[in-house]
Amino acid sequence: MTGLALSPRRVLLRVAAGVSLLAFLWYFEPPAKPAFQLCGFHWLTGHPCPLCGLTRGMFALAKGHWSQALGFNALSPLAFAMLAILFWHDEPVRTRAWTCGFVAFVIYGLCRIFLLGA
């Protein structure tokens, strides 16, 4: 879709989807202590994976609690931006952003597991 203008209907759908996602994240609150561990990596190794804490971080960011989100997962703002890019940018920008984000999460995960031992 590069170089082509979006129709008003598609723009409206993207805005509605983005606002709906933000409203969902703002309204609901995940449990502070989940009833069971969802992360298979953490369950097997005892170490948090690069995505551990990301769900709670996204909910905190939607409410404007930046320091809390960074405490859950340091890359929560990056994940939030990556979600926003899904709604607003064309394919080359989205691909480049998601590739860079993926690399950042891999590096963060390796540091989190081996250097921090968290």
On whether residue 47 sits in a domain, the answer given is: yes
pLDDT, residue 5, reads: 67
Query: Would residue 35 count as lying in a domain?
Result: no
Task: Please tell me the predicted confidence (pLDDT) of residue 116.
Answer: 67
- How confident is the model at residue 44, as a pLDDT? 84
**DSSP letter assigned to residue 115:** I
Enter the pTM of the model.
Answer: 0.75
Residue 23 inside a domain? The answer is no
Given this model, what pLDDT does residue 66 score? 93
Chunked mean pLDDT (size 10), the chain, 118 residues: 67 85 87 76 81 88 92 91 80 88 91 74
Q: Is 48 helix (H, G, I), strand (E, B) or coil?
A: coil
Residue 75 covered by a domain: yes
65 within a domain of the structure (yes/no):
yes
- Across the chain, how many H-helices and E-strands are there? 6, 0
Tell me whether residue 106 is in a domain. yes
Q: What does the DSSP 8-state code read for residue 53? A: T
Structural domain boundaries, residue 67: 41-118
- Find tokens 């960074």 and name the residue: 70
Establish if 7 belongs to a structural domain: no
Cα torsion at 33, 39, 42, 43 (round to 10°)?
90
Is 53 a member of any domain? yes
Could you give the number of structural domains in the chain? 1
